[in-house]
Amino acid sequence: MTNPVDTVAAAVSAAGAPTLGARRVSAGYSWPECPRWHAGTFWFSDMYTGTLKTLDAEGNATVVVDATGRAAGTEVPITLGGFGWLPDGRLIVVSMHEKLVLVHNSGAPDDLSVYADISEYTLAAANDMVVDADGRAYITQLGFDLFKGDEPVASPLIVVEPDGTVSTPAKVGPLMCGNGIAISDDGTEVYVAEVMAFKITVMDRAADGTLSNPRDFATCPFMPDGIGLDADGGVWAAMPGGGYVARFTGQGLTHAVSLPLEDGIGSACLLGGPDRKTLYITAGFEVFDFAKSAREAQGTIWVADVEHSGGATRP
């Protein structure tokens, strides 16, 4: 079997893409994921500790949302995935294995309640999420039990309307392990990483939030995971096990950031910082053994300076 690092490196070389280095800014996490930039602050999910955290300018982390209390009386892992903010300022977050969207109600980290039950539409575990300006949430799902080694199956996006109604988009078919999801700078397109299809899919988004016309945007040399957009039409994608984060446009791979596997497995990325030209990258070493990942706490956060701005893209 071809080494994924060699495959991605060959694709970067063939594209003649400039390659940037990354620098580590923080460490000590389980499997960090779902990076966000909100109100001048970097946020992320420390997934296997059941928390959402922020970083200060020195790389020190603060727990802002703590769902660990939900583990009492259940064998379901409490793992927080994608999150975003409603127009009224409240934060909502996917509890992946509970198949719920939770809402953070106050300043207390553990003040959480159920915002939406998405279990009717979730085949295995819910995953990432992006929230639009109206408070509508678009949620991806794995579709199969990745952690038990099940065979991949296609599964639909899940939409939670501002009034709490849950549905799947009628004009968008199932995806092969939908993961990172993002909304373009002008709000007219939604992009999704289809992990098991090795591609990024784009679809049209109407003013009322309706999705339609799904189509291939870019083929990736390895499995894309978390994604972040820039305002110039680029999609930055982490490719776990591939040793790079890469930028794609409709014309192919244009830029790359090297993150050698000995430094961590890149899981997701997002443009943040004051001008949104800082590419934040989350990285870890253990994704399958939740307890080991939390116990060893080898996860890290990296940054790279890029020429493209995230603009008004979401998340």
pLDDT digits (tens, 9 = 90+) for 31-52: 999 999 999 999 999 999 999 9
- Asked if residue 179 belongs to a known ligand binding site, the reply is yes
**Domain ranges for the chain:** 4-305
pLDDT digits (tens, 9 = 90+) for 102-112: 999 988 999 99
- pLDDT above 70 coverage of the chain, percent: 100
Angle ∠(109,112,114) on CA atoms, nearest 5: 160
Residue 144's pLDDT band, with cuts at 50, 70 and 90, is confident
Is the bond into 315 cis (omega within 30 degrees of 0)? yes
Distance of alpha carbon 218 from alpha carbon 250, whole angstroms: 6
Residue 146's pLDDT band, with cuts at 50, 70 and 90, is confident
- Asked if residue 185 belongs to a known ligand binding site, the reply is no
pLDDT at residue 168 greater than cutoff 90:
yes
Residue whose entry in the numeric block shows the structure tokens 């591609």: 199
What pLDDT is attached to residue 1? 56
Q: What is the SS3 assignment for the chain? A: CCCHHHHHHHHHHHHCCCEEECEEEEEEECCEEEEEEECCEEEEEEHHHCEEEEECCCCCEEEEEECHHHHCCCCCCCCEEEEEECCCCCEEEEECCCCEEEEECCCCCCCEEEEEECHHHCCCCEEEEEECCCCCEEEEECCCCHHHCCCCCCECCEEECCCCCEECCCCCCCECCEEEEEECCCCCEEEEEEHHHCEEEEEEECCCCCEEEEEEEEECCCCCCCEEECCCCCEEEECCCCCEEEEEECCEEEEEEECCHHHCEEEEEEEECCCCCEEEEEEECCCCCHHHHHHHCCEEEEEEECCCCCCCCEC
Instruction: Evaluate whether 46 touches 78 at the Cβ level (below 8 Å).
Output: no
Q: Which two tokens stand for residue 169?
A: 């988009």
Mean pLDDT of the chain: 96
What pLDDT is attached to residue 239? 97
Q: What is the average per-residue pLDDT within 183-205?
A: 97
- Asked if residue 127 belongs to a known ligand binding site, the reply is yes
Q: What is the average per-residue pLDDT within 144-157?
A: 83
pLDDT digits (tens, 9 = 90+) for 275-287: 999 999 999 999 9
The pair phi, psi for residue 165, each rounded to 5°, is -65, 135
pLDDT digits (tens, 9 = 90+) for 83-103: 999 999 999 999 999 999 999
CATH 1.10.150.20 fits 4-305, yes or no: no
The pair phi, psi for residue 187, each rounded to 5°, is 80, 5
Which listed residue (46, 128, 225, 230) is catalytic?
225
Residue 145's pLDDT band, with cuts at 50, 70 and 90, is confident
- Asked if residue 98 belongs to a known ligand binding site, the reply is no
Q: What is the average per-residue pLDDT within 56-84?
A: 96
Q: What is the average per-residue pLDDT within 221-233?
A: 97
What pLDDT is attached to residue 288? 86
Told to judge if 110 belongs to the known catalytic residues of this protein, a careful annotator would answer no
CA 94 to chain centre: 11
Q: Within a 13 Å sphere around the CA of 218, how many CA atoms are in the beta-carbon half? A: 25
- Asked if residue 33 belongs to a known ligand binding site, the reply is yes
